[in-house]
Every structure is written in C-alpha cells, then in structure tokens.
Amino acid sequence: MSREKFHIEFLMGNASQNSLWRMISQIDGLSEWFADEVEVDETETIYTFTWGKSSHDAHILQNRPQSLIRYRWEDDDESVYFEFRLRKLDLSGDMTLEVTDFAEPAEKSDAIALWEAQIDEMKRRLGI
C-alpha cells in the first residue's frame, strides 16, 4: 500500500524565525525536540537521527534558509519526504510551522498525533 501525503500547520505565536529555523535545521535544535541525538556528516547533507539505540539517516533534499527544509529518510522511496516550512502571517505577524509528511492510510492519525506531540515539545522548549 502506498503512503499518503499529509500536511499539518502549527501556530508558533511570536517565536522568532531564527529560533524556529534553528529548531528544524540545526543539530542542537533538532536534538531538543525531534530526536535524542542528531549528527551531520561533513557535507552537511546527511543527518543521523538517534532514538535510544535506533539510528536513521536522512538526506536534505531542499534547503531554503529561514524558510523551508525537506528531508528524506535514506531507506524511503524517492517521492517520500518530510518537510518543515516557516511562514509569517501578514495580519498578526505570528509565525506558523507547516509540517508535510507521508504515512500509510491506516497509520495517518497516529503519525499526526506523533507530530503534534513533538511540536508541543518544541513549543515547550521555545517557551511558547
């Protein structure tokens, strides 16, 4: 069965774009909320994410500083990725974080719940 793309948007309030960018693209930020440990290779295009004793490599497919970063797990199909996009709302000036990911249809609600829990942890770390 093929995975379905899904998209979730989180209101990040008055968090600065710089602090959000650090959380989604840099090893120190990612290790605060996304994984137990994060390492990057010398080319800065392959990130190794570790949870407990399990590690997974992700390649950066696209990187627009302060705006968007797209990763693909090493063992995933070429068309599957996860992405973080930052936007500033025109009226309020608040920041949003948009997450795009893929999941099996039967696992989609679990995947969304996992992202919600992880983004809640990020918000807690940022004091939002």
pLDDT digits (tens, 9 = 90+) for 97-107: 999 999 999 99
How large is the average pLDDT for residues 99-119? 96
Question: Which pTM does this prediction carry?
Answer: 0.92
Four-CA torsion 97, 103, 106, 111, nearest 10 degrees: -40
Cα(99)–Cα(116) distance, integer angstroms: 10
Distance of CA 68 to the CA centre of its chain: 10
Report the chain's mean pLDDT, rounded to a whole number. 94
Q: Residue 36 has what DSSP assignment?
A: S
Residue-range domains of the chain with CATH: 4-26+62-126 (3.30.530.20)
Distance of CA 53 to the CA centre of its chain: 21
Cα(125)–Cα(81) distance, integer angstroms: 25
> What is the per-residue pLDDT for 1?
59
* Lowest-confidence pick of 73-77, 79-83, 97-101, 118-122: 73-77
